[in-house]
Amino acid sequence: VLTGHGTVPDAVECMRLGAYTFLTKPVDAADLAPVLTQAARPLAPEVGHELVGESDATRQLRRLLDRLAEADEPVLLTGETGTGKEVAARRLHQASRRAEQPFLAVNMACLPRDLVESELFGHARGAFTGADRRKAGLFEEVQGGTLFLDEVAELPLEHQAKLLRVLETSTFRSVGENRERAFHGRLVAATHQDLLGLVREGRFREDLYYRLQVLPLELPALRQRRDDIVPIARHWLARVAHEPMAFTPEAESCLLAHDWPGNVREVVNLSRRVSLFAERGRVDAALVSRMLAANPFPAPGHAVPPPAESPDAVEEISLEALEKRHIQRLLAHHHNITRVARILQINRRTLQRKLRAWGIDPDQVGGP
Query: Domain with 156 in it: what CATH number?
Result: 3.40.50.300
Range of the domain at 60: 56-218
pLDDT number for residue 213: 93
The residue out of 158, 183, 218 marking a domain boundary is 218
The residue out of 218, 235, 264 marking a domain boundary is 218
pLDDT number for residue 335: 73
pLDDT number for residue 306: 43
CA distance 12 to 297: 8
239 domain residue, yes or no: yes
Specify whether 124 is located in the same domain as 90.
yes
Q: How many domains does the chain have?
A: 2
Q: 10 Å Cβ neighbour count for 156?
A: 13
pLDDT number for residue 307: 41
Stretches where the chain sits below pLDDT 70 are: 4-24, 27-49, 294-320, 322, 333, 364-368
pLDDT number for residue 300: 57
CATH number of the domain enclosing 253:
1.10.8.60
Specify whether 213 is located in the same domain as 251.
no
pLDDT number for residue 326: 78
Specify whether 211 is located in the same domain as 322.
no
Q: What angle do CA 116, 122, 126 make, to 5 degrees?
A: 105
pLDDT number for residue 295: 63
5 domain residue, yes or no: no
pLDDT number for residue 52: 92
pLDDT number for residue 95: 94
23 domain residue, yes or no: no
The residue out of 218, 247, 274 marking a domain boundary is 218
Tell me the backbone φ, ψ of residue 75, rounded to 5 degrees: -120, 135
Specify whether 235 is located in the same domain as 292.
yes
2 domain residue, yes or no: no
Q: What is the pLDDT of residues 172-207, one digit of tens each?
A: 888 888 888 999 999 999 999 999 999 999 999 999
368 domain residue, yes or no: no
Specify whether 205 is located in the same domain as 233.
no
Specify whether 289 is located in the same domain as 204.
no
Specify whether 153 is located in the same domain as 292.
no
Distances (CA, A) of 339 to 284, 327, 330: 15, 12, 9
Specify whether 161 is located in the same domain as 258.
no
CA distance 366 to 186: 55
Specify whether 69 is located in the same domain as 213.
yes
Specify whether 272 is located in the same domain as 356.
yes
Specify whether 323 is located in the same domain as 233.
yes
CA distance 32 to 28: 6
Specify whether 209 is located in the same domain as 273.
no
